[in-house]
Amino acid sequence: MLKRLYDWMLEKAGHRHATRWLAGFSFTESSFFPIPPDVLLAPMCLAKPEKSFYYALICSVFSVLGALLGYAIGYFLFETIGIAILDFYGLADKFDSFAQSFNEQGWLVVLLAGFTPLPFKVVTIAAGSTAMPLYIMVIAAIISRSARFFIVAALLRFFGPPMKEWIDKNFALTTAVVGILFVGGFAAVRWLI
């Protein structure tokens, strides 16, 4: 099922309303949709490299707006919609233990999840269900989602198709390493101050 959904998303990259599809996928992926917008972002950047950063901006803005929907689901509708989404991803059983420690390091979790292949929708729902301060979630989402999408866009704009093949093959590893370096930079700055 996910493979068909993935292929369907790839078809949208060539659609005359591809930018609208990109905005929609970016929004829904932050709250419930299973496939990240990178699937659409990459071919669009390759087709029109001069618009790569515009596409990254669309992903960033709509992803953060979608994070607000995820937060609202967790805050207002956790017992109905939130649990159903977690069940879909097979995470409902583990959610209670995750939620207990979430607010201690919640900003860091949002930052990492927005930047890595961790399911961002689970984190935005957790932020709402644990009543994380909304401004903290939004700031962490803006930083992490923008960094993620602009890095992908820059790599594709300047290095083209070979970079897309490399990213596709090593996506999880690449985003995890960059995420760790990104957070490590914050930790180093905090330690030095």
**78 in Cβ contact with 129 (< 8 Å):** yes
pLDDT band at 59 (very low <50, low <70, confident <90, very high): very high
Query: Does the pLDDT value for residue 40 go beyond 50?
Result: yes
How distant, in Å, are the alpha carbons of 68, 74, 102, 147 from that of 95? 19, 12, 10, 27
pLDDT band at 6 (very low <50, low <70, confident <90, very high): low
Q: What is the pLDDT of residue 135?
A: 94
As a whole number of angstroms, the distance between CA 102 and CA 126 comes to 8
Tokens linked to 101: 């420690």
pLDDT tens, residue by residue, 83-104: 898 888 777 777 777 777 776 7
Q: Which residues contact 24 (CB under 8 A, 6 or more apart)?
A: 62
pLDDT tens, residue by residue, 64-73: 999 999 999 9
Q: What is the pLDDT of residue 60?
A: 97
